[in-house]
A and B are shown apart, each in its own frame.
Chain A
Amino acid sequence: MPLRKESTEDDLEMLSGSSSKKTRSVILAKAKNRLSLVNLSNVFTVFLSSDRKLQKKIVELAQDKDSYFGNLVRDYRVYSLETMVKQSSSTEMLQEIRLMMTQLKSYLVQSTELKSLIDPASYTEEQLEVIAETALYKCVLKPLKEAINSSLKDIHTKDGSLQQLKENQLVIQNTTTTDLGITTSVPETVVLEKILHKFAAMHKTYSPEKKIAILLKTCKLIYDSMAQGNPGKPYGADDFLPVLMYVLARSNLTEVLLNVEYMMELMDPALQLGEGSYYLTTTYGVLEHIKNYDKITVTRQLSMEVQDSIHRWERRRTLNKARASRSSDFICISFLEIGGQSRTLASRHDTTAEQLSQQCAEKFEVSHPKDYGLFVYVDDQCLQLDKDALPHHIKASLLKSETKKDFHFIYKPIDHKTPPVPIVKESDFS
């Protein structure tokens, strides 16, 4: 259904966007098409609207500073922004983000916070996961999208991919369709413009699922133009790949590369199979092909490179699924004082204060970690964490406490002179 819904929206966009140029008959056809879509989607309006409402509630929960989920989402965004700039591998960077989204989702679906929003009996866990996934696109990916894109661009500028694509793009543009292996018609200028318009729309949207839906529409446009003059003939991959290469060589390859990686790594790992997966794989393959176009002799070298990259993709996805079940959490820790330099650290729920201190020592590059300890300020009272205390539990308890408490975790030197700081081990702040 979301797909159907999207096509309605997309057609609306197209209608309002460039209606002046269209002839009346085209508009009529479009309107007719739209009407039939509206009729179809009406059937599901009730279903859709309750899902949408829940989605909206989740987004609101994520923006609520007093909710535990809201805190998680915020800490997560901070953490992502911090780590993103340090990554040298695009896939690792995106994987990190996907992993945390999956963790946020698994927390949310099991949380009492969500259960208080809905009648749990009316949704299966799977339905909740689908709704939570879409909500997370909005509250996590939307605000991060620009940063993600610029980091990806940096990474691929450094590793030379963008340059390679750019050089080969020109080569391919100057290659005849015959030499590219094309045996069908290619998209005419008007269709090509339409395709490029779709690619631009794909780049604008932040939802990986929506991007994939747009990718499928562009593939459909390509097929339609291939069939010009020879309708009804089934065109397979032999025919499609060269034409896709022709089309991509006329697009903004940087954007396409970023989008393909974004979709591959950030889409819900549970949605691997199907048509979207096929065309995403194919687009990725053609991009690799373009990137290595100049090298195409009969070497196995290239083959191994490409094989390897896709193999790693599959491995990562499997790995990601397995890792997602181990839940972890985020905690924001300031160095030396409230409002000082701070880091958001990801660690498992059952991490002890001692383990977290070690992480802090690395992050803040402390030379004598033994002299430092983890503290929490609760409403101006300073407490030192026992080495076996569980910071995540303390944080959860503080967030849940009936009287709202102002609290900060601080990593600072242990001071032995002043009256001893109370040590906290249990996590009851209610």
Chain B
Amino acid sequence: MQISWFLQKIQFCLENCNLSQTFHFSDTGVGKSSIVWRFVEDSFDPNINPTIGASFMTKTVQYQNELHKFLIWDTAGQERFRALAPMYYRGSAAAIIVYDITKEETFSTLKNWVKELRQHGPPNIVVAIAGNKCDLNDVREVMEKDAKDYADSIHAIFVETSAKNAININELFIEISRRIPSTDTNPPSSGKGFKLRRQPSVTKRSCC
């Protein structure tokens, strides 16, 4: 089986609602770091994640005959750092926007992120919407159907996840793998295997 390696850069962003700036120690965010952490942690290769912090992580996923390497760039969601977001999503192949199903306002800010991405992001960016904390169904504020309808209307991937119970996390990334334009744009360099130092970026850049 021919396995080709190439890079995909994944944008990972989220809006923490303003309320979250009341600085509790936990349970303030919508749990995006946990999602990536869970995704990376469940790796079959123990050496896979030598990164220095959870802001930037990598993971390789097998999709059909290809191995997809995700470079996951985390973006600070606080309003105060909002101006920096374009630095992160430019050049990204996909963006995962996470909201908290138990906090209605995080779903509203998600819509703002989508708007911004559509206006200023790369034209072909794959957008995925993840409603996190689906293990907390009894305190749910955002209906699954509403979120799904919204996602469909903007042609985004939609899942409800639970970083706590590892629900749908892998599925999310597999679906992203499926939607990202594949090796056609980047023929595998046969016989060279995985080049650590010089990988061509397959990301399509916006030129606006």
A residues with CB within 8 A of B: 126, 130, 178, 181, 183, 216, 219-220, 223, 230, 233-241, 270-275, 278-279, 281-282, 284-285, 288-289, 296, 298, 302-303, 306-307, 310-311, 314, 318
Interface residue from A223, A239, A296 paired with B52 (Cβ < 8 Å): A223
A308's nearest neighbour on chain B, judged by CB, is B86
B131 within 8 A of A: no
Is there an interface contact between A270 and B198, defined as CB atoms closer than 8 Å? yes
Q: Are A273 and B9 in contact, with the CB atoms below 8 A?
A: yes
* Binary interface encoding of chain B residues 6-29 relative to chain A, with 1 for a CB under 8 A from any of its CBs, else 0: 010100001010000101011011
Q: Which B-chain residue is minimally distant from A310 (CB atoms)?
A: B87
* Chain A min CB distance to B86 (Å): 4
Which residue of the partner chain, among B51, B54, B87, contacts A284 with CB atoms under 8 Å? Answer: B87
A240 to B55, CA, bound (A): 8
Residue of A whose beta carbon sits closest to that of B32: A236
* 5 cross-chain CB contacts under 8 A: A178-B23, A235-B33, A241-B76, A296-B80, A314-B91
Chain B positions 22 through 59: 1 when the CB is less than 8 Å from some CB of chain A, otherwise 0: 01011011001110110000000000000111111010
Give the chain A neighbours of B32 by CB distance below 8 A: 236
Nearest CB of chain A from residue B119's CB, rounded to whole Å? 11
Q: Pick the interface stretch among B67-75, B141-149, B167-175, B180-188.
A: B67-75
In the complex, chain A residues whose CB is within 8 Å of the CB of B91: 314
- Closest partner residue, chain B, to A276 (CB atom): B56
B positions within 8 Å CB-CB of A = 7, 9, 14, 16, 21, 23, 25-26, 28-29, 32-34, 36-37, 51-56, 58, 71, 73-84, 86-88, 90-91, 120, 195, 197-199, 201, 205
Q: Is there an interface contact between B53 and A220, defined as CB atoms closer than 8 Å? A: yes
Is there contact, CB below 8 Å, between B76 and A275? no
Q: Give chain A residues whose Cβ lies under 8 Å from the Cβ of B9.
A: 273
B54 touches A236 (CB 8 A): yes
- For residue A37, give the distance in angstroms from its CB to the closest CB of chain B: 14
Q: Do residues B76 and A281 form an inter-chain contact, with CB atoms below 8 A?
A: no
Greatest chain B CB density within 10 A among A271, A275, A284, A288 is at: A275
A183 touches B52 (CB 8 A): no
In the complex, the answer to whether B78 meets A219 with C-beta atoms within 8 Å is no
Q: Contact check, B90 vs A236: say whether CB atoms are below 8 A apart.
A: no
B90 touches A310 (CB 8 A): yes
Inter-subunit contact A236/B74 (CB<8 Å): yes
In the complex, the answer to whether B52 meets A275 with C-beta atoms within 8 Å is yes
B82 to chain A, nearest CB (A): 7
Q: Are A181 and B55 in contact (CB under 8 A)?
A: no
Contact of A238 with B71 in the complex, beta carbons under 8 Å: no
Cβ contacts under 8 Å, A310 to chain B: 86-87, 90
B21 to chain A, nearest CB (A): 7
Q: Which residue of A lies closest to B25 (CB)?
A: A183
- B198, A271: Cβ atoms closer than 8 Å: yes
- With CB as the reference atom, state the residue of chain A lying closest to B87: A310
List 9 additional contacts besides A273-B9, A307-B86, A314-B205; criterion CB under 8 Å. A181-B78, A219-B52, A235-B55, A237-B77, A238-B29, A238-B33, A240-B53, A240-B55, A278-B71
